Amino acid sequence: MIKHIGVFTSGGDSPGMNACLRAVVRTAIYHGIQVTGIMKGYQGLIEGDFLPMNARSVSNIIHRGGTILKSARSADFMQKAGRDQAFKMLSNSGIDALVAIGGDGTFRGATIFNSEFGTPFVGIPGTIDNDLYGTDYTLGFDTAVNTAVEAIDKIRDTAASHDRLFFVEVMGRDAGYIALWAGISGGAEAILLPEEKTDIDKLISLLKTGEEQLKTSSIVIVCEGDDAGGALEIAKMVKAKQPGFDTRVTVLGHVQRGGSPSAFDRILGSRLGVAATQELLRGVHGKTAGILNNKITFTDFTKATKQHAPLDPEMLRYSKILAI
Ligand code: ATP
């Protein structure tokens, strides 16, 4: 019988984590369960950095980006000694189950902790990368795409006014979701993704075809994890082969992580927070909540951490049709 849950945010922060935290805290209280916030992810668990929470502790945070619990990457939790210490802190505090909001690394840590100490866990996918298995959307992805599109729209104004070729780098070390979605929404001429091999000559030929078809400016979206390099490297390679192109580079960077969450991310955080907490109280654990075809689902951690969600091949195909 669970009487006291702990909740934490871990890995990279993402917009919507606060909305989700609010939902977890209020659902626990609604069901008469004590709830404690754990600061700075697994590091706070090890250090016993705990914050007792009530319904008012999460007032006025639904619209805020980042995470009021803060987030951290914990090297100590990767070691058995660190996890032993975390379990000691947990036992001393009386917390008997955990809700982890984070990415696949967070879920991997949770799985190991659970196998060692049996502490019940549920996970909620919080990452802007949208690459987690078992959900169509992760918390923060929609906001990050909208931030990138807003920037691309502004860049398009100057690209069109000066007949320039812009390379815009968006986040995604291993996954091209943000690049693909922002590229389609922003009407990009080309989208370079880690999931596809980049061929500079092919890219140049595509841009030249555009010119022949009276395009006077172009935007190329480069995912930061592209195999040919980042936007700066790719722009240099293109310029070396085509000195006549008037190229510019914009690296969007961390602006994509911050900002007020979109209504979609607030709803997603609220839905996943309520569902995951209720499922944990029902005795289900070792699973991550997700949304598939607009229905809440739960996927085993072991399955969710073994694979990444692949890009939708239809979206890839559409992006090429729409860029002519
Ligand atoms: P993001 O997708 O934003 O990077 P993430 O949850 O994948 O989020 P990670 O840094 O990979 O971020 O993982 C968060 C934390 O989880 C790590 O700092 C570490 O403390 C813990 N963790 C990750 N992998 C393991 C592991 N194999 N064993 C124990 N702990 C782990």
**CA of residue 35 to ligand 1 center, whole Å:** 23
Amino acid at 88: K
Ligand 1 atom with the smallest distance to the CA of 77 is 20
Look up residue 180 and give its two tokens: 């693909």
User: Measuring CA to CA, how many Å separate 19 from each of 25, 101, 110, 157, 212?
Assistant: 10, 11, 22, 34, 49
Q: Which residue out of 17, 45, 77 has the highest number of ligand 1 atoms within 8 Å of its CB and is therefore the one to mutate?
A: 77
The pLDDT tens digits of the residues spanning 32-82 come to 999 999 999 999 999 999 999 999 999 999 999 999 999 999 999 999 999
pLDDT score, position 14: 97
Q: Which residue out of 17, 67, 78, 224 has the highest number of ligand 1 atoms within 8 Å of its CB and is therefore the one to mutate?
A: 78
Q: Which residue, chain included where needed, has tokens 């036992």?
A: 91
Distance CA 276, CA 124 (A): 7
Domains of the chain: 4-140+261-306 (3.40.50.450), 144-257 (3.40.50.460)
Distance CA 171, CA 253 (A): 6
Distance CA 8, CA 22 (A): 12
Rounded to the nearest angstrom, the gap between the alpha carbon of residue 225 and the centroid of all alpha carbons in its chain is 15
Ligand 1 atom with the smallest distance to the CA of 73 is 18
Distance CA 224, CA 174 (A): 8
138 lines ligand 1 (CB under 6 A): no
- The residues, any chain, with a CB within 8 Å of residue 88's CB and separated by 6 or more, are none
What residue's CA is closest to ligand 1, atom 3? 12
Look up residue 86 and give its two tokens: 């975390």
105 lines ligand 1 (CB under 6 A): yes
List the catalytic residue out of 13, 49, 104, 129: 129
Distance CA 237, CA 262 (A): 36
Q: Which residue out of 108, 171, 174 has the highest number of ligand 1 atoms within 8 Å of its CB and is therefore the one to mutate?
A: 108
Q: Is position 96 annotated as part of the catalytic site?
A: no
Distance CA 214, CA 229 (A): 29
Distance CA 324, CA 320 (A): 7
DSSP designation for 242: -
pLDDT score, position 85: 98
Which residues in the chain land under pLDDT 50?
Answer: none
User: Measuring CA to CA, how many Å separate 309 from each of 192, 272, 313?
Assistant: 18, 18, 12
Ligand 1 atom with the smallest distance to the CA of 43 is 20
pLDDT score, position 124: 98
Amino acid at 155: I
pLDDT score, position 224: 96
- Give the Cβ contact number of residue 91 at 10 Å: 12
pLDDT score, position 307: 82
pTM: 0.96
